[in-house]
Structure 1
Amino acid sequence: MVWAPRWPVILRDDSLRAPGGTLLLRRLRRADRDAWMDLRADNQDWLERWEATTPAPTGLDRQGRHRGWPGRTQPTRPPSFTGYVRALDKAARDGSTLPFAVELDGELVGQLTVSSITYGSLCSASIGYWVGQHVAGRGVIPTAVAMAADHCFFELGLHRVEINIRPENAPSLRVVEKLGLRDEGLREAYLHIQGRWCDHRTFALTAPEVPDGLLARWRSTQGA
Protein backbone atom coordinates (compact mmCIF):
# COMPACT_ATOMS: atom_id res chain seq x y z
CA MET A 1 0.00 0.00 0.00
CA VAL A 2 1.22 3.49 -0.86
CA TRP A 3 1.07 5.97 2.01
CA ALA A 4 -1.09 8.91 0.94
CA PRO A 5 -0.05 12.34 2.28
CA ARG A 6 -2.59 14.84 3.45
CA TRP A 7 -4.33 16.60 0.56
CA PRO A 8 -5.15 19.34 -0.24
CA VAL A 9 -2.10 21.18 1.04
CA ILE A 10 -1.48 24.93 0.96
CA LEU A 11 2.08 26.24 1.16
CA ARG A 12 2.63 29.99 1.60
CA ASP A 13 5.60 32.33 1.50
CA ASP A 14 5.67 36.12 1.87
CA SER A 15 9.36 36.74 1.22
CA LEU A 16 9.26 37.71 -2.46
CA ARG A 17 10.29 41.26 -3.12
CA ALA A 18 7.91 43.70 -4.79
CA PRO A 19 6.31 43.58 -7.25
CA GLY A 20 4.60 40.49 -5.90
CA GLY A 21 5.01 39.34 -2.35
CA THR A 22 2.67 36.47 -1.45
CA LEU A 23 3.27 33.12 -3.11
CA LEU A 24 0.85 30.22 -2.65
CA LEU A 25 1.13 26.62 -3.72
CA ARG A 26 -2.39 25.16 -3.64
CA ARG A 27 -4.56 22.63 -5.43
CA LEU A 28 -5.81 23.51 -8.90
CA ARG A 29 -9.57 24.15 -8.78
CA ARG A 30 -12.31 23.86 -11.37
CA ALA A 31 -12.90 27.59 -10.84
CA ASP A 32 -9.38 28.19 -12.24
CA ARG A 33 -10.48 27.09 -15.70
CA ASP A 34 -10.65 30.48 -17.42
CA ALA A 35 -7.48 31.81 -15.81
CA TRP A 36 -5.61 28.57 -16.60
CA MET A 37 -6.77 28.52 -20.22
CA ASP A 38 -5.83 32.17 -20.72
CA LEU A 39 -2.43 31.65 -19.11
CA ARG A 40 -1.66 28.66 -21.30
CA ALA A 41 -2.83 30.44 -24.45
CA ASP A 42 -0.80 33.58 -23.67
CA ASN A 43 2.33 31.47 -23.09
CA GLN A 44 1.96 28.84 -25.79
CA ASP A 45 5.17 29.77 -27.61
CA TRP A 46 7.04 30.12 -24.30
CA LEU A 47 5.99 26.66 -23.04
CA GLU A 48 5.23 24.43 -26.00
CA ARG A 49 8.77 23.38 -26.86
CA TRP A 50 9.21 21.88 -23.36
CA GLU A 51 5.88 20.01 -23.19
CA ALA A 52 5.99 16.28 -22.49
CA THR A 53 4.21 13.99 -24.94
CA THR A 54 3.17 10.33 -24.92
CA PRO A 55 4.92 8.21 -27.56
CA ALA A 56 3.00 5.74 -29.67
CA PRO A 57 3.53 2.14 -28.51
CA THR A 58 6.14 0.30 -30.56
CA GLY A 59 6.27 -3.29 -31.69
CA LEU A 60 3.63 -5.85 -32.62
CA ASP A 61 1.76 -8.37 -30.52
CA ARG A 62 1.64 -12.09 -31.32
CA GLN A 63 -1.21 -11.53 -33.77
CA GLY A 64 0.80 -8.96 -35.72
CA ARG A 65 -1.20 -6.01 -34.42
CA HIS A 66 0.32 -2.80 -33.13
CA ARG A 67 0.90 -3.20 -29.44
CA GLY A 68 -0.93 -0.88 -27.03
CA TRP A 69 0.18 0.27 -23.60
CA PRO A 70 -0.67 -2.43 -21.00
CA GLY A 71 -3.95 -1.68 -19.26
CA ARG A 72 -4.46 1.59 -21.14
CA THR A 73 -6.28 2.83 -24.17
CA GLN A 74 -5.16 5.80 -26.19
CA PRO A 75 -7.51 8.76 -25.58
CA THR A 76 -9.31 10.10 -28.64
CA ARG A 77 -9.31 13.64 -27.30
CA PRO A 78 -7.79 15.57 -24.38
CA PRO A 79 -9.74 15.49 -21.10
CA SER A 80 -11.91 18.42 -20.13
CA PHE A 81 -10.46 20.85 -17.60
CA THR A 82 -12.80 19.36 -14.98
CA GLY A 83 -11.50 15.90 -15.86
CA TYR A 84 -7.93 17.17 -15.66
CA VAL A 85 -8.48 18.61 -12.17
CA ARG A 86 -10.21 15.40 -11.08
CA ALA A 87 -7.27 13.31 -12.30
CA LEU A 88 -4.79 15.53 -10.45
CA ASP A 89 -6.76 15.24 -7.21
CA LYS A 90 -6.96 11.46 -7.56
CA ALA A 91 -3.19 11.21 -8.03
CA ALA A 92 -2.70 13.40 -4.95
CA ARG A 93 -5.05 11.28 -2.84
CA ASP A 94 -3.29 8.13 -4.04
CA GLY A 95 -0.03 9.55 -2.73
CA SER A 96 1.97 9.48 -5.96
CA THR A 97 1.79 13.20 -6.81
CA LEU A 98 1.36 16.65 -5.29
CA PRO A 99 -0.05 18.82 -8.11
CA PHE A 100 0.20 22.46 -7.05
CA ALA A 101 -1.13 25.55 -8.76
CA VAL A 102 1.29 28.48 -8.36
CA GLU A 103 -0.47 31.67 -7.29
CA LEU A 104 1.24 35.04 -6.93
CA ASP A 105 -0.71 37.75 -5.10
CA GLY A 106 -3.98 36.07 -6.04
CA GLU A 107 -3.07 35.49 -9.70
CA LEU A 108 -2.61 32.01 -11.17
CA VAL A 109 0.85 32.12 -12.78
CA GLY A 110 1.87 28.49 -13.26
CA GLN A 111 2.01 24.97 -11.88
CA LEU A 112 4.47 22.89 -9.88
CA THR A 113 4.15 19.12 -9.58
CA VAL A 114 5.89 16.81 -7.16
CA SER A 115 5.67 13.45 -8.92
CA SER A 116 7.02 9.90 -8.65
CA ILE A 117 6.76 10.07 -4.86
CA THR A 118 8.38 6.87 -3.63
CA TYR A 119 8.98 5.61 -0.09
CA GLY A 120 10.82 2.54 1.16
CA SER A 121 14.54 2.36 0.44
CA LEU A 122 14.41 5.23 -2.09
CA CYS A 123 12.34 7.95 -0.35
CA SER A 124 12.50 10.25 -3.36
CA ALA A 125 10.42 12.47 -5.62
CA SER A 126 10.77 14.48 -8.82
CA ILE A 127 9.77 18.14 -9.21
CA GLY A 128 8.57 19.73 -12.43
CA TYR A 129 7.15 23.18 -13.10
CA TRP A 130 6.07 25.82 -15.59
CA VAL A 131 5.34 29.50 -15.17
CA GLY A 132 4.06 32.37 -17.27
CA GLN A 133 6.75 34.39 -19.00
CA HIS A 134 5.46 37.64 -17.44
CA VAL A 135 6.67 36.53 -13.99
CA ALA A 136 9.83 34.68 -15.05
CA GLY A 137 13.01 35.95 -13.43
CA ARG A 138 11.26 37.30 -10.33
CA GLY A 139 12.13 34.42 -8.02
CA VAL A 140 8.71 32.82 -8.23
CA ILE A 141 9.77 29.34 -9.33
CA PRO A 142 12.97 29.13 -7.23
CA THR A 143 10.87 30.03 -4.18
CA ALA A 144 8.13 27.58 -5.16
CA VAL A 145 10.64 24.76 -5.69
CA ALA A 146 12.24 25.50 -2.31
CA MET A 147 8.82 25.43 -0.62
CA ALA A 148 7.91 22.13 -2.27
CA ALA A 149 11.29 20.56 -1.48
CA ASP A 150 10.98 21.51 2.19
CA HIS A 151 7.50 20.00 2.28
CA CYS A 152 8.95 16.78 0.83
CA PHE A 153 11.76 16.69 3.38
CA PHE A 154 10.03 17.87 6.56
CA GLU A 155 6.43 16.76 6.07
CA LEU A 156 6.67 13.70 3.82
CA GLY A 157 9.95 12.46 5.24
CA LEU A 158 11.61 12.04 1.85
CA HIS A 159 15.37 11.85 1.52
CA ARG A 160 15.91 13.19 -1.99
CA VAL A 161 14.29 15.38 -4.64
CA GLU A 162 15.40 15.75 -8.23
CA ILE A 163 14.65 18.00 -11.20
CA ASN A 164 15.25 16.89 -14.79
CA ILE A 165 15.87 19.66 -17.33
CA ARG A 166 16.55 19.80 -21.06
CA PRO A 167 20.16 20.98 -21.57
CA GLU A 168 18.97 23.85 -23.79
CA ASN A 169 16.30 25.09 -21.33
CA ALA A 170 18.24 28.08 -20.01
CA PRO A 171 15.47 29.53 -17.76
CA SER A 172 15.05 26.21 -15.92
CA LEU A 173 18.80 25.75 -15.61
CA ARG A 174 18.96 29.13 -13.90
CA VAL A 175 16.41 27.93 -11.32
CA VAL A 176 18.53 24.99 -10.15
CA GLU A 177 21.69 27.11 -10.32
CA LYS A 178 20.11 29.71 -8.03
CA LEU A 179 19.00 27.00 -5.59
CA GLY A 180 22.35 25.21 -5.61
CA LEU A 181 21.13 21.77 -6.66
CA ARG A 182 23.81 19.25 -7.52
CA ASP A 183 24.32 18.45 -11.21
CA GLU A 184 24.30 14.65 -11.52
CA GLY A 185 24.90 14.49 -15.24
CA LEU A 186 23.10 13.69 -18.46
CA ARG A 187 20.32 11.15 -18.95
CA GLU A 188 20.17 10.29 -22.61
CA ALA A 189 16.75 10.04 -24.31
CA TYR A 190 15.16 10.41 -20.87
CA LEU A 191 11.73 11.93 -21.61
CA HIS A 192 9.46 12.16 -24.64
CA ILE A 193 9.13 15.87 -25.50
CA GLN A 194 7.19 17.22 -28.45
CA GLY A 195 7.29 13.98 -30.36
CA ARG A 196 10.83 12.76 -29.73
CA TRP A 197 12.99 11.30 -26.98
CA CYS A 198 15.15 14.05 -25.47
CA ASP A 199 18.21 14.15 -23.25
CA HIS A 200 17.88 15.74 -19.81
CA ARG A 201 20.29 16.81 -17.12
CA THR A 202 19.46 15.65 -13.60
CA PHE A 203 19.83 17.97 -10.61
CA ALA A 204 19.26 16.67 -7.09
CA LEU A 205 19.29 17.55 -3.41
CA THR A 206 19.07 15.42 -0.27
CA ALA A 207 17.61 16.42 3.07
CA PRO A 208 20.94 16.34 4.98
CA GLU A 209 22.32 18.97 2.58
CA VAL A 210 19.77 21.52 3.81
CA PRO A 211 19.18 20.83 7.53
CA ASP A 212 17.48 24.22 7.92
CA GLY A 213 15.53 23.83 4.67
CA LEU A 214 16.09 24.84 1.08
CA LEU A 215 13.82 27.88 1.45
CA ALA A 216 15.98 29.24 4.29
CA ARG A 217 19.09 28.76 2.18
CA TRP A 218 17.47 30.44 -0.83
CA ARG A 219 16.31 33.37 1.33
CA SER A 220 19.82 33.82 2.70
CA THR A 221 21.18 34.31 -0.80
CA GLN A 222 18.54 37.01 -1.40
CA GLY A 223 19.25 38.90 1.81
CA ALA A 224 15.71 38.08 3.08
Structure 2
Amino acid sequence: MPTDYLIAEGPVGIRRVVPGDRDAFAAAVRASADLHGGWLALADSAEAFDAYVAACDRRTKEGLLICDRETGDLAGSVNLNTIVHGRFENAALGYGAFVPYAGKGFMSAGLALVIRFAFEQLNLHRLEANIQPGNEPSRRLVQRHGFRFEGLSPDYLFIDGAWRDHERWALITDNPQVPAAGRNDRR
Protein backbone atom coordinates (compact mmCIF):
# COMPACT_ATOMS: atom_id res chain seq x y z
CA MET A 1 0.00 0.00 0.00
CA PRO A 2 1.78 3.19 -1.17
CA THR A 3 1.71 6.01 1.35
CA ASP A 4 3.73 8.60 -0.51
CA TYR A 5 0.99 11.21 -0.53
CA LEU A 6 1.41 14.41 -2.50
CA ILE A 7 -0.80 16.08 0.10
CA ALA A 8 -2.60 14.59 3.08
CA GLU A 9 -4.96 16.11 5.59
CA GLY A 10 -7.08 14.38 8.18
CA PRO A 11 -8.32 10.99 7.00
CA VAL A 12 -7.63 11.70 3.30
CA GLY A 13 -4.50 11.73 1.15
CA ILE A 14 -3.91 12.08 -2.57
CA ARG A 15 -1.20 10.27 -4.48
CA ARG A 16 -0.31 9.44 -8.04
CA VAL A 17 -1.66 6.26 -9.55
CA VAL A 18 1.03 3.60 -10.00
CA PRO A 19 1.12 0.28 -11.89
CA GLY A 20 0.76 -1.61 -8.60
CA ASP A 21 -2.75 -0.13 -8.18
CA ARG A 22 -4.07 -2.18 -11.11
CA ASP A 23 -6.06 -4.81 -9.22
CA ALA A 24 -7.42 -2.52 -6.50
CA PHE A 25 -8.37 0.18 -9.03
CA ALA A 26 -10.15 -2.19 -11.42
CA ALA A 27 -11.97 -3.82 -8.49
CA ALA A 28 -13.06 -0.42 -7.13
CA VAL A 29 -14.33 0.62 -10.57
CA ARG A 30 -16.28 -2.62 -11.00
CA ALA A 31 -17.77 -2.31 -7.49
CA SER A 32 -18.81 1.27 -8.31
CA ALA A 33 -20.37 0.56 -11.72
CA ASP A 34 -23.92 1.32 -10.54
CA LEU A 35 -22.74 4.57 -8.94
CA HIS A 36 -20.97 5.71 -12.11
CA GLY A 37 -23.78 4.58 -14.42
CA GLY A 38 -23.62 6.55 -17.65
CA TRP A 39 -21.72 9.45 -16.08
CA LEU A 40 -18.17 8.27 -16.70
CA ALA A 41 -16.04 5.36 -17.84
CA LEU A 42 -13.01 4.33 -15.80
CA ALA A 43 -10.47 1.55 -16.39
CA ASP A 44 -12.11 -1.67 -15.21
CA SER A 45 -9.68 -4.20 -16.72
CA ALA A 46 -5.94 -4.81 -16.56
CA GLU A 47 -5.48 -3.68 -20.17
CA ALA A 48 -7.52 -0.50 -19.71
CA PHE A 49 -5.69 0.28 -16.48
CA ASP A 50 -2.25 -0.20 -18.08
CA ALA A 51 -3.25 2.18 -20.90
CA TYR A 52 -4.51 4.70 -18.33
CA VAL A 53 -1.26 4.62 -16.33
CA ALA A 54 0.79 4.95 -19.54
CA ALA A 55 -1.22 8.06 -20.47
CA CYS A 56 -0.49 9.71 -17.09
CA ASP A 57 2.74 11.34 -18.23
CA ARG A 58 2.64 14.13 -15.58
CA ARG A 59 3.16 16.78 -18.30
CA THR A 60 -0.27 16.61 -19.91
CA LYS A 61 -2.13 14.26 -17.56
CA GLU A 62 -1.98 13.48 -13.84
CA GLY A 63 -3.78 10.41 -12.53
CA LEU A 64 -4.47 10.89 -8.82
CA LEU A 65 -6.05 8.65 -6.22
CA ILE A 66 -7.98 9.77 -3.18
CA CYS A 67 -7.14 7.39 -0.36
CA ASP A 68 -8.41 6.59 3.10
CA ARG A 69 -5.22 7.17 5.08
CA GLU A 70 -6.24 4.77 7.85
CA THR A 71 -6.67 1.76 5.56
CA GLY A 72 -4.96 2.86 2.34
CA ASP A 73 -8.13 1.95 0.44
CA LEU A 74 -9.01 3.82 -2.74
CA ALA A 75 -11.88 6.24 -2.06
CA GLY A 76 -11.90 7.90 -5.47
CA SER A 77 -10.01 8.90 -8.57
CA VAL A 78 -9.24 12.34 -10.02
CA ASN A 79 -7.58 13.11 -13.33
CA LEU A 80 -6.07 16.40 -14.34
CA ASN A 81 -6.50 16.05 -18.09
CA THR A 82 -5.20 18.16 -20.96
CA ILE A 83 -2.78 20.09 -18.76
CA VAL A 84 -1.56 23.12 -20.68
CA HIS A 85 1.08 25.53 -19.41
CA GLY A 86 2.23 28.86 -20.80
CA ARG A 87 -0.48 31.39 -21.52
CA PHE A 88 -3.33 28.98 -20.65
CA GLU A 89 -2.23 27.28 -17.36
CA ASN A 90 -5.32 25.07 -17.39
CA ALA A 91 -6.42 21.49 -16.76
CA ALA A 92 -9.71 19.64 -17.11
CA LEU A 93 -10.87 17.57 -14.15
CA GLY A 94 -12.28 14.10 -14.37
CA TYR A 95 -13.31 12.34 -11.17
CA GLY A 96 -15.33 9.61 -9.55
CA ALA A 97 -15.92 8.30 -6.05
CA PHE A 98 -15.62 4.61 -5.21
CA VAL A 99 -18.01 2.48 -3.17
CA PRO A 100 -18.16 2.34 -0.13
CA TYR A 101 -16.70 5.87 0.22
CA ALA A 102 -19.25 7.71 -1.92
CA GLY A 103 -21.33 10.18 0.05
CA LYS A 104 -19.01 10.12 3.08
CA GLY A 105 -16.99 13.29 2.41
CA PHE A 106 -13.86 11.62 1.02
CA MET A 107 -14.43 12.94 -2.51
CA SER A 108 -14.93 16.50 -1.30
CA ALA A 109 -11.89 16.38 0.98
CA GLY A 110 -9.84 14.76 -1.78
CA LEU A 111 -10.91 17.34 -4.36
CA ALA A 112 -9.83 20.10 -1.97
CA LEU A 113 -6.37 18.50 -1.89
CA VAL A 114 -6.31 18.15 -5.69
CA ILE A 115 -7.19 21.85 -6.01
CA ARG A 116 -4.27 22.71 -3.73
CA PHE A 117 -1.97 20.47 -5.75
CA ALA A 118 -3.12 21.98 -9.07
CA PHE A 119 -2.75 25.60 -8.01
CA GLU A 120 0.21 25.40 -5.64
CA GLN A 121 2.41 22.68 -7.16
CA LEU A 122 1.44 22.73 -10.84
CA ASN A 123 0.97 26.53 -10.77
CA LEU A 124 -2.22 26.38 -12.81
CA HIS A 125 -4.47 29.40 -13.25
CA ARG A 126 -7.67 27.50 -14.07
CA LEU A 127 -9.38 24.16 -13.49
CA GLU A 128 -12.40 23.07 -15.51
CA ALA A 129 -14.97 20.46 -14.61
CA ASN A 130 -17.33 19.30 -17.36
CA ILE A 131 -20.46 17.75 -15.94
CA GLN A 132 -23.42 16.12 -17.66
CA PRO A 133 -26.71 17.90 -16.99
CA GLY A 134 -28.57 15.94 -14.35
CA ASN A 135 -25.48 14.82 -12.46
CA GLU A 136 -26.46 16.64 -9.28
CA PRO A 137 -23.85 15.09 -6.94
CA SER A 138 -21.06 16.21 -9.26
CA ARG A 139 -22.54 19.68 -9.65
CA ARG A 140 -22.87 20.08 -5.86
CA LEU A 141 -19.27 18.91 -5.41
CA VAL A 142 -17.78 21.59 -7.65
CA GLN A 143 -20.11 24.30 -6.33
CA ARG A 144 -18.95 23.48 -2.80
CA HIS A 145 -15.39 24.20 -3.94
CA GLY A 146 -16.15 27.55 -5.59
CA PHE A 147 -16.40 26.54 -9.25
CA ARG A 148 -18.63 28.84 -11.31
CA PHE A 149 -20.94 27.83 -14.15
CA GLU A 150 -19.70 29.04 -17.55
CA GLY A 151 -22.07 27.44 -20.03
CA LEU A 152 -23.20 24.33 -21.86
CA SER A 153 -21.08 22.42 -24.37
CA PRO A 154 -23.34 20.31 -26.63
CA ASP A 155 -22.10 16.82 -27.62
CA TYR A 156 -18.90 17.42 -25.64
CA LEU A 157 -17.72 13.92 -24.66
CA PHE A 158 -18.42 10.41 -25.95
CA ILE A 159 -19.59 8.46 -22.89
CA ASP A 160 -21.57 5.24 -22.60
CA GLY A 161 -22.04 4.94 -26.37
CA ALA A 162 -23.19 8.49 -27.17
CA TRP A 163 -22.01 12.09 -27.42
CA ARG A 164 -23.14 13.81 -24.21
CA ASP A 165 -23.80 17.45 -23.45
CA HIS A 166 -21.78 18.85 -20.54
CA GLU A 167 -22.02 21.90 -18.33
CA ARG A 168 -18.69 23.71 -18.06
CA TRP A 169 -17.67 24.78 -14.55
CA ALA A 170 -14.40 26.54 -13.75
CA LEU A 171 -12.28 27.62 -10.81
CA ILE A 172 -9.65 30.28 -11.35
CA THR A 173 -6.99 31.76 -9.12
CA ASP A 174 -8.93 34.93 -8.34
CA ASN A 175 -11.52 32.88 -6.42
CA PRO A 176 -11.09 33.28 -2.64
CA GLN A 177 -11.54 29.50 -2.23
CA VAL A 178 -8.27 28.90 -4.10
CA PRO A 179 -5.43 28.51 -1.57
CA ALA A 180 -3.49 31.78 -1.24
CA ALA A 181 -0.22 30.12 -2.25
CA GLY A 182 -1.86 29.13 -5.53
CA ARG A 183 -2.95 32.61 -6.54
CA ASN A 184 -0.43 33.17 -9.27
CA ASP A 185 -1.72 36.34 -10.88
CA ARG A 186 0.08 36.63 -14.21
CA ARG A 187 -1.94 39.44 -15.76
Report the Cα distance in structure 1 between the residues aligned to 2:40 and 2:95, rounded to whole angstroms. Answer: 11
Write out per-residue CA displacement over residues 88-113 of structure 1, whole angstroms, 9 at most, x where no aligned residue: 44x22xx0011112211211122111
Equivalent of residue 8 in structure 2, options 7, 13, 35: 13
Q: Does 1:103 align with 2:70?
A: no
The Cα shift of 1:85 comes to 5.5
Shift of 1:81: 5.9
Structure 2 Cα separation of the partners of residues 81 and 126 of structure 1:
20
Cα gap change, 1:188 to 1:212, in 2 (>3 Å): closer
Which structure 2 residues correspond to residues 125-144 of structure 1 after superposition, within 5 A?
125-144=91-110
Equivalent residue number for residue 209 of structure 1: 175
Q: 1:25 to 1:179 in 2, by over 3 A?
A: same
Distance 2:99 2:177 in 1: 32
Please give the alpha-carbon distance, in whole angstroms, between the structure 1 residues aligned to 2:50 and 2:166: 30
| Native 8 Å contact 2:19 2:50 kept in 1 | no
- Fraction of identical pairs, as percent: 29
TM-score in terms of structure 1 length: 0.69
Map 1:7-156 → 2, pairs under 5 A: 10-15=5-10, 21=11, 23-52=12-41, 80=47, 83-84=50-51, 86-89=53-56, 91-92=57-58, 95-105=59-69, 106-156=72-122
Deviation of the 1:12 alpha carbon: 2.7
Structure 2's unaligned 5+ residue stretches are 181-187
Q: CA offsets per residue over residues 146-180 of structure 1, 9 Å max, x none? A: 21222221222211111110111121112012112
Structure 1, residues 43-79: CA drift from partner, whole Å, max 9, x if none? 11211411259xxxxxxxxxxxxxxxxxxxxxxxx76
Q: Give the superposition deviation at 1:86.
A: 4.3
Higher alpha-carbon Rg: 1
List structure 1 runs of 4+ shifted beyond 3 angstroms. none
Root-mean-square deviation (CA), in Å? 2.4
Where in structure 1 are there 5+ consecutive unaligned residues? 1-8, 16-20, 54-77, 215-224
The one-letter code sitting in structure 2 at the alignment partner of 1:96 is T
Aligned equivalent of 2:163:
197
